[in-house]
């Protein structure tokens, strides 16, 4: 791996401070479910600054920052983000997310990582809050810094947060990805896990093994990027397998693809057996299909690659029965993926979608995870029910989680009006007010703190949940300037 590079863009003092903290945060592995070390880091930082803090039963940390002089009577503010990050890497990366620090790569005004996700989603929230609260030039009321666990795998920390734990009147979530946008609402979501029992047998002697791989897809955030119509590597692979099945018998050995419930799969592969007499035809077919599919996704996934290679035989030459192999392919092709409906209320907003996120074979079973989203609970549950119906048709075992609720927008809140005024004063332009299809923790937190007014902001972050994730350095300074003014004037 390449070493971290140094910044060539000259950062202002505030941006530099945020990046210094972000680099310390990025040195600590913090995959969802592995947040103990980053939580300890935040607790140590609180101790060093003599801030009170508490860690709740779920594992969330809340750090209490006293009000500045003459600001003690102002209503409190919660600055909120999450401790974990999505861990994605390129196939040629040997990065170990359980122990390796994220390596920074500076490209002019942008910061990215070396072949991995950067974790600006949501390490920037922690770094921003730390820099703001240490800045003695900023006046602010009492602050509560809330950083939750396992946001990326189902908003676990926000779901398990206690009732009325927070005292602040206002909550500013720092988990948005456009510095010109105030987010005031988001979709709810629910995951579905399905498993299907598989049957195997020894394949005939005249069958030969191949590996079909789909890679180089753009991927991305399954909420923000689902409307981009990017290729889902699992879907592309299932389509390829169906094409093979139409010209030859095909026996699946194994199939795998995707790594996270909230990331559009970028890579997938399947090991198969086909009759030796069909080998040349299968190779030719895959090559022809690759050209067709790459043309279809030439705009969204220009780097997609589909390959078929002959591989070494498995020791026992076992593969799924012919009809089971076809059943697996049909199952994967039938599961809904992509935009299901657009909002009839907010133009251009994806209302309902699903992401065929992960597939693998383990312990003789096919395991599939699908993540569904909607800004309408009834529509969310309807798409989940449809996915479950597909599972029942093949006899799969099905388990859908409890999910999380949408964050319903309040366009007329006092907080939004104040934020708009301050944004225009500080940055000399109008912010956009948006509802997004991605999931934020605000809906769950607000449900437990009645009357709390909420907004989500953040610097420009592109390609979250993929190794192409990057954050724009000047936008960090702009958001810092906006927040530092807001903290002193919000009352």
How many domains is the chain built from? 2
Residue 122: its H or E element: helix 120-134
Residues β-bridged to residue 371: 191, 355
Residue 180 lies in a domain: yes
- The verdict on 327 and 304 lying in the same domain is yes
Residue 8 lies in a domain: no
- The verdict on 394 and 419 lying in the same domain is no
Residue 5 lies in a domain: no
CB atoms within 10 A of CB 313: 13
- The verdict on 90 and 168 lying in the same domain is yes
Q: Is the dihedral of CA 147, 152, 157, 159 positive or negative?
A: positive
Residue of 283, 272, 484, 268 lying closest to 356 (CA atoms): 268
Residue 2 lies in a domain: no
- The verdict on 37 and 50 lying in the same domain is yes
- The verdict on 313 and 388 lying in the same domain is yes
Tell how strand 170-173 and strand 77-82 pair up. parallel
pLDDT at 1: 34
pLDDT at 6: 77
DSSP state of 263: B
Measured CA to CA, the distance from residue 149 to residue 163 in angstroms comes to: 17
pLDDT at 2: 41
The phi and psi torsions of 187 (rounded to 5 degrees) equal -80, 160
Measured CA to CA, the distance from residue 148 to residue 445 in angstroms comes to: 11
CATH number of the CATH domain containing 289: 3.30.70.360
- The verdict on 82 and 152 lying in the same domain is yes
Domain boundary among 337, 370, 400: 400
Measured CA to CA, the distance from residue 231 to residue 292 in angstroms comes to: 13
- The verdict on 225 and 263 lying in the same domain is yes
Measured CA to CA, the distance from residue 121 to residue 88 in angstroms comes to: 12
- The verdict on 79 and 153 lying in the same domain is yes
Residue 257 lies in a domain: yes
DSSP per position, 222-241 = TTTSGGGT---HHHHHHHHH
Residue 337 lies in a domain: yes
Domain boundary among 354, 376, 400: 400
- The verdict on 30 and 169 lying in the same domain is yes
Residue 6 lies in a domain: no
pLDDT at 4: 65
CATH number of the CATH domain containing 417: 3.40.630.10
**Residue ranges making up the domain that contains 68:** 13-187+406-489
- The verdict on 293 and 394 lying in the same domain is yes
- The verdict on 345 and 417 lying in the same domain is no
List average pLDDT for each run of 10 residues in the chain, which is 491 residues long: 68 97 98 97 98 97 96 96 96 95 96 97 97 96 98 93 95 97 95 98 95 95 94 98 94 96 95 96 93 96 96 87 97 97 93 98 97 95 98 98 90 95 96 93 93 97 94 98 96 83
DSSP state of 100: P
- The verdict on 158 and 33 lying in the same domain is yes
Catalytic residues: 84, 151
Domain boundary among 341, 376, 400: 400
Residue 252 lies in a domain: yes
């Amino acid at each position: 791996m390449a070493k971290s590079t140094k910044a060539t863009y000259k950062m202002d003092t505030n941006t530099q401070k945020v990046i210094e903290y972000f680099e310390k945060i990025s040195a600590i592995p913090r995959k969802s479910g592995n947040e103990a070390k980053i939580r300890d880091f935040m607790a140590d930082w609180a101790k060093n600054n003599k801030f009170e803090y508490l860690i709740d039963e779920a594992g969330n940390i809340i750090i209490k920052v006293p009000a500045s002089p003459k600001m003690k009577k102002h209503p409190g503010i919660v600055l909120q983000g999450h401790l974990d990050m999505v861990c994605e890497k390129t196939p040629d990366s040997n990065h170990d997310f359980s122990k390796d620090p994220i390596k920074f790569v500076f490209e002019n005004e942008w910061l990215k990582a070396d072949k991995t996700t950067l974790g600006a989603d949501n390490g920037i929230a922690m770094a921003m809050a730390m820099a703001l609260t240490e800045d003695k030039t900023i006046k602010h009321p009492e602050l509560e810094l809330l950083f939750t666990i396992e946001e990326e795998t189902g908003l676990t920390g926000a779901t398990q947060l206690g009732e009325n734990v927070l005292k602040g009147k206002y909550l500013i979530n720092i988990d948005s990805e456009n510095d010109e946008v105030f987010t005031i609402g988001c979709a709810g979501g629910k995951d579905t896990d399905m498993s299907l029992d598989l049957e195997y047998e020894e394949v005939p002697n005249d069958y030969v093994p191949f590996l079909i791989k789909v890679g180089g897809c753009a991927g991305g955030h399954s909420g923000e990027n689902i409307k981009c119509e990017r290729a889902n590597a699992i879907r592309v692979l299932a389509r390829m397998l169906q094409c093979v099945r139409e010209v030859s018998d095909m026996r699946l050995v194994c199939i795998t693809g995707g790594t996270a419930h909230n990331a559009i799969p970028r890579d997938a592969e399947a090991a198969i057996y086909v009759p030796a007499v069909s080998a040349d035809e299968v190779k030719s077919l895959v090559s022809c299909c690759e050209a067709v599919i790459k043309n279809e996704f030439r705009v969204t996934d220009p780097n997609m690659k589909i390959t078929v290679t002959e591989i070494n035989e498995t020791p026992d030459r076992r593969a799924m029965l012919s009809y089971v192999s076809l059943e697996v392919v049909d199952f994967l092709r039938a599961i809904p993926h992509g935009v299901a409906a657009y909002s009839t209320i907010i133009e251009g907003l994806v209302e309902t979608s699903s992401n065929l996120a992960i597939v693998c074979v383990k312990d003789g079973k096919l395991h599939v995870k699908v993540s569904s989203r909607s800004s309408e609970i009834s529509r969310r549950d309807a798409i989940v029910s449809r996915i479950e119906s597909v599972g029942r048709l093949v006899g799969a075992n099905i388990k859908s989680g409890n999910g999380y609720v949408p964050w319903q927008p309040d366009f007329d809140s006092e907080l939004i009006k104040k934020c708009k005024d301050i944004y225009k004063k500080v940055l000399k332009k109008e912010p956009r007010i948006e509802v997004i299809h991605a999931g934020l923790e605000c809906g769950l937190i607000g449900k437990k703190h009645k009357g709390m007014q909420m907004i989500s902001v953040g610097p420009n972050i592109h390609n979250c949940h993929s190794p192409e994730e990057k954050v724009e350095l000047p936008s960090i300074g702009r958001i810092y300037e906006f927040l530092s003014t807001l903290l002193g004037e919000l009352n």
